Amino acid sequence: MFRNLALVGVCVALVGCREDSNPTAVDLSRPGLDLSFNPNDDLSMMQMMTATSAHDIDTDAVASGTMVKLTGVISVDNVHRHLSSTTMYCEYRTIVQDAMCATPPCGVELYSRGIKLTTPGAKTTDCPFADAAGSMTPIGQIKNYGDVMEITGSVKSFIDNTAPMTVKLHSLTVDTLTITMAKGPLPTPIAVTDAATSMFVAHSGGGWNMYEGTYIKLSPNGGGKFTTGTPDMFGAFTVTPGGAQFSTSDYFGPKDGGTFPMPGSMYSSISGVVNNDFGGSIDPLFATDYAP
């Protein structure tokens, strides 16, 4: 379960946390007829949903603010929690990928506000895990990699605030979420050979928007192996050659195994989900994503 995997939300230095200003969804239905969601009642609140795909959201074929419905998307990320210091709401994020997508980008971030904390000095660690009682987030229904779901919500997008400001994150503020199959198979990582200067250099690489939300298998330019650098305090590390940025926010290696991967480790390829938040990182999920 993700309770065992979920991590404390952190903000990457130089970039800062993205704070969402939209309030959580509010149910306007009442026991009587007024403000009902029933179309046969007075003042019904019928919301028009556009059936779409993660690819169309990522390529801006669907405008920001559009109410959409995604079907058959798969969990390829942990559910991460974060306390907004501005609003004091617990915020929850994860990434899903379209199972039927053949042409990247194939995935999108899910976002939801949960409970609002009122304790002075509260921290992210005071936010309940998404699947805990009282979290007040529909994202808490996601418990495994591979969970298949149907989602409704509104599209939002965010431009990286570090120059050259080209990396764009697409997000879906979740209204409803229904698990249609638990722990299904994950998509096969799409093989990508990196450029001499990586397509996944943080804040500037062209690969972030091209493969947003997609599980990929990255191999070094010209063959050979990647050599890992030293992870920073947030678990991010770069590799040579190329300078692609990875993050250990989803996989930390064997319990009590120390820093993973060890600096100077060599891999013929590294697989992970392309995460466009905070300028971009590729997030491996399993030990097997690091191919010797």
Q: What string of DSSP letters covers 188-255?
A: PPEEEEPPSS-TT-TTT-THHHHTTT-EEEEE-TTSS-EEE----TTSEEEEETT--EEE-SS---ST
- pLDDT mean by block of 10 residues, the chain; 292 residues: 42 44 40 35 58 98 97 95 95 95 97 96 95 95 96 98 97 98 96 98 98 98 95 90 89 55 94 96 92 95
Same domain, 210 and 135: no
In whole angstroms, give the CA distance from residue 182 to residue 132. Answer: 18
Query: Is 30 among the domain residues?
Result: no
How many domains is the chain built from?
2
Give φ, ψ of 173 to 5 degrees: -75, 110
Domain at 58, CATH number: 2.40.50.140
Give the CA distances from residue 246 to residues 54, 160, 280, in Å, rounded to whole numbers and listed in that order: 22, 17, 8
Residue among 223, 221, 249 nearest 235 (CA): 249
Same domain, 94 and 56: yes
Same domain, 91 and 69: yes
In whole angstroms, give the CA distance from residue 63 to residue 154. Answer: 10
Residue among 249, 250, 247, 272 nearest 192 (CA): 272
Same domain, 53 and 169: yes
In whole angstroms, give the CA distance from residue 133 to residue 114. Answer: 11
Query: Is 7 among the domain residues?
Result: no
Q: What is the pLDDT of residue 12?
A: 37
Q: What is the pLDDT of residue 179?
A: 98
Taking a C-beta distance cutoff of 8 angstroms, is the pair 74, 148 a contact?
yes
Query: Is 13 among the domain residues?
Result: no
Q: What is the pLDDT of residue 234?
A: 83
In whole angstroms, give the CA distance from residue 95 to residue 77. Answer: 5
Q: What is the pLDDT of residue 15?
A: 40
Query: Is 17 among the domain residues?
Result: no
Q: Dihedral sign, CA of 246, 250, 253, 255?
A: positive
Same domain, 52 and 146: yes
Question: Judging by beta carbons within 10 Å of its beta carbon (0-12, 13-18, 19+), is residue 257 exposed, middle or buried?
Answer: exposed
Q: Residue 279 belongs to what domain range? A: 190-291
Give the end of a domain, one of 133, 149, 181: 181
Residue among 203, 196, 192 nearest 245 (CA): 203
Taking a C-beta distance cutoff of 8 angstroms, is the pair 252, 289 a contact?
no
Same domain, 194 and 124: no
Q: What is the dihedral of CA 277, 282, 287, 292, to 10 degrees?
A: -170
